[in-house]
Copies of this chain bind each other. A is one copy, B any other.
Amino acid sequence: MANTSTKRTVARGKKFQLQPRLRIRFSEAVAFGPGKADLLELILQTGSIRQAAQKMEMSYMRAWSLVREMNRHFREPVIVAERGGRNRGGTQLTATGRRIIGLYRRMEQSSLKAAGPDWNKMQKLLRG
């Protein structure tokens, strides 16, 4: 799986890294989380569900299934097909899709920053 969120959100310690993996749960289901965030971001970057799926080493079917889950949990669709439909055209994030990514990445950053003081203490307990 592509590790774009890791690259962004990891606080580098000596060798240890803190990763805030935020999950939005809907009873047992995960409505949104690190995997779906990476997928949306890759669709934004590539303009293609197929290419995003490839980069995450998941099947096209799986990527579509994740997109459908997001569309079910959010009020508005997260992507829209452009120019020529699903087969020939590209795929763009909707305003809602872009907003979700922005909020999620900022929540990760806020989490990481807030955990910082205790993370420094924790690192002293870890082997150096």
Contact = CB atoms under 8 A, between A and B. Distances in A.
Interface of A: 10, 15-27, 31, 72-76, 96, 99-100, 103-104, 106-107, 110-115, 118-119, 121-122, 125-128
Count identical subunits in the complex: 2
A108 to B, nearest CB: 8
A40 to B, nearest CB: 13
A19 B22 contact: yes
Given A75-B125, A110-B118, 9 more contacts: A15-B27, A17-B25, A19-B23, A22-B115, A24-B126, A75-B126, A75-B127, A76-B125, A100-B125
A22 B60 CA distance: 29
A25 B96 CA distance: 32
